Structure formats: structure tokens, C-alpha cells
């Protein structure tokens, strides 16, 4: 089975530009999570979805960040405008919350390394 | 709220040494506990898990026992290898109740492990 797929793997952009990160969760998983990882702040949960609906976006840093999940197999995280302090590795993860079958394990993608100059 | 506290890193050991990485948690109810590993340039991977008190999770020579009385889930390995060099994260699920919030994992800050030959 394919794991969580993220694209691009690396993104270098200039301050002020729009950045879109993409994620395809594992087929059949109904939860999708976006994380950000930096040396200073460690691993931070930004937002998560259940059945394509955002459940908790309290980790989203500010209005420049937005996330969507138009269908069960695709999600985007957008930063507009980007700033140098947004430089980080962004991970997408998915899990299954089906009643009686959930083990609460999250499966992570390989991440997108974002550099904003 | 729920939280996870891990042993401060970095940890540096020689090959074949005994490893312990401490993890303690604060949680309501009966969470599931996890250890994730992150190899350089990759996403987090589930290493092992335990879903109830006194359960022992094990994988690749690593072990951890769910100790409710001490609220701990320490990671151990009897003889480490250079290939074990990675960052290790302890995590807990919010609740086993099956509610949406249960799918959200709380991660510790991570412990960087370096094994020298």
C-alpha cells in the first residue's frame, strides 16, 4: 500500500510569495493532520480534519495559513504571503478513526522542506 | 491538559551500549502510548505502542512498558547500533473513547540519539 504522499519534497520561495503544500492520505483513512517541525519549536500540530471537515485549527499560526480538504484523498496547506519565519518541514499524517478499528496510530508522510528567503 | 515529557537530549552512546529514554505523561482517562522514530530526512514512523496498563510494546529490539502507577513509558534497548541514530518521540492519544479528539496525539519534544561506532 502507498503511504502518505506529500508534494513537493522541497520548496524554496521568496518572501511574499504564495506557497501551496499538498498531501494525499492513505486510502480509507478518515483523519488528516498537518504538522510543522522546526528546531526551535519542535513538532507542532497545525490543524486536523475528520471526514474532510476541519476539527481543530487552533495550531494555525495566523491568518496567512489556510488548509483545505476538498475530498477524502487530497488536502492542501497554503501560506500567503510567506515569510522567512515560515521556513520549516511540514508533515502530513493520516489515521483511521473507524469505530472499533481505530488504534490511534498516525502515519506520516516524508515531509515538505520549505525555505523562505 | 494532557502532556508528555521526555528526557532531554541529545543522547550519545557507543555501539552495543544499553539505552533508556525516559518518558512520563499527564493524562485523563486511559490513553494509548506510542514511541515514534524519525530518521534523518524522513517523517516519523511508529516504533511501538501500548494500549493499556502493564502492556509492553516491542519492535526491532526496543521495548517500553505502560506503567500507570508511575505514568511512564520509558524506551529501552539492550544493545544499540549505529543505525539506531535518530530522533525518538513519545506520544499519547487523548482518550480511547472513540471521539474525534481521541485521534489527536500529544507528542513530547523528541530526544536526539547518536550512536558512535
CA–CA dist A7, B55 (Å, integer)? 37
Q: Which residues of A touch B101 (CB under 8 A)?
A: 55-56
CA of A72 vs chain B CAs: smallest distance (Å): 16
> Which A residues 36-65 touch B at CB under 8 Å?
42-43, 45, 48, 50, 55-56
Pick the range with the lowest mean pLDDT from A2-6, A104-108, A111-115, B54-58.
A104-108
Give the residue, A4 or A98, on which the prediction is more confident.
A4
Give the span between the Cα atoms of A44 and B66, in whole angstroms: 25
The pLDDT score that the predictor gives to residue B21 is: 97
In chain A, which residue's Cα lies nearest the Cα of B111? A42
Q: How would residue B96 be classed by pLDDT, with cut points 50, 70 and 90?
A: very low
Instruction: Provide mean pLDDT across the span B7-12.
Output: 90
The residue-averaged pLDDT of B2-9 equals: 89
Condensed to tens digits (0 to 9), the pLDDT of residues A53-109 reads 998 899 998 899 999 999 999 999 999 999 999 999 999 999 887 655 556 788 999
Q: How confident is the model at residue B102 (pLDDT cuts 50, 70, 90)?
A: low
Whether A108 and A92 have beta carbons less than 8 Å apart is answered as: yes
Cα distances from A109 to residues A39, A64, A78, B104, in angstroms, run 19, 23, 17, 16
Given a cut of 60, is residue B98 above it in pLDDT?
no
Instruction: Inform me whether the C-beta atom of residue B29 falls under 8 Å from chain A C-beta atoms.
Output: no
- Alpha-carbon distances, residue B40 vs A25, A48, A77, B88, B106 (angstroms): 22, 25, 23, 11, 22
pLDDT at A111: 96
The fraction of chain B above a pLDDT of 90, given in percent, is: 73
- Do you know the residue count of chain B? 117
As a whole number, the mean pLDDT across chain A is 92
B97 has a pLDDT exceeding 60: no
> Smallest Cα–Cα separation from B29: which of B7, B49, B51?
B51
User: Which pLDDT tens digit goes with each residue over B24-45?
Assistant: 999 887 888 999 999 998 999 9
Average of per-residue pLDDT across B17-30? 92
For A14-37, what is each residue's pLDDT tens digit? Answer: 999 999 999 999 999 989 999 999
Q: Identify the pLDDT of residue A1.
A: 65
Amino acid at each position: 500500500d502507498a503511504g502518505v504522499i506529500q508534494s513537493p519534497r522541497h520548496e524554496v520561495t521568496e518572501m511574499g510569495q504564495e506557497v501551496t503544500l499538498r498531501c494525499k492520505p492513505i486510502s480509507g483513512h478518515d483523519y488528516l493532520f498537518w504538522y510543522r517541525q522546526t528546531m526551535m519549536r519542535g513538532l507542532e500540530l497545525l490543524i486536523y480534519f475528520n471526514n474532510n471537515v476541519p476539527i481543530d485549527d487552533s495550531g494555525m499560526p495566523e491568518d496567512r495559513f489556510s488548509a483545505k480538504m476538498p475530498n477524502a484523498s487530497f488536502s492542501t496547506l497554503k501560506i500567503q504571503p510567506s515569510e522567512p519565519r515560515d521556513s520549516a518541514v511540514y508533515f502530513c499524517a493520516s489515521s483511521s478513526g473507524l469505530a472499533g478499528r481505530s488504534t490511534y496510530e498516525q502515519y506520516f508522510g516524508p515531509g515538505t522542506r520549505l525555505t523562505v528567503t | 491538559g494532557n502532556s508528555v515529557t521526555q528526557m532531554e537530549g541529545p543522547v550519545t552512546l557507543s555501539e552495543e551500549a544499553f539505552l533508556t529514554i525516559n518518558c512520563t505523561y499527564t493524562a485523563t482517562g486511559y490513553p494509548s502510548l506510542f514511541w515514534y522514530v524519525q530518521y534523518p530526512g524522513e517523517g516519523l514512523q511508529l516504533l511501538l505502542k501500548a494500549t493499556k496498563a502493564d502492556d509492553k510494546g516491542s519492535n526491532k529490539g526496543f521495548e517500553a512498558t505502560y506503567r500507570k502507577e508511575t505514568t511512564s513509558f520509558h524506551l529501552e534497548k539492550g544493545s544499540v547500533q549505529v543505525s539506531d541514530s535518530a530522533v525518538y518521540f513519545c506520544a499519547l492519544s487523548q482518550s480511547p473513547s472513540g471521539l474525534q479528539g481521541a485521534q489527536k496525539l500529544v507528542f513530547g519534544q523528541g530526544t536526539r540519539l547518536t550512536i558512535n561506532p
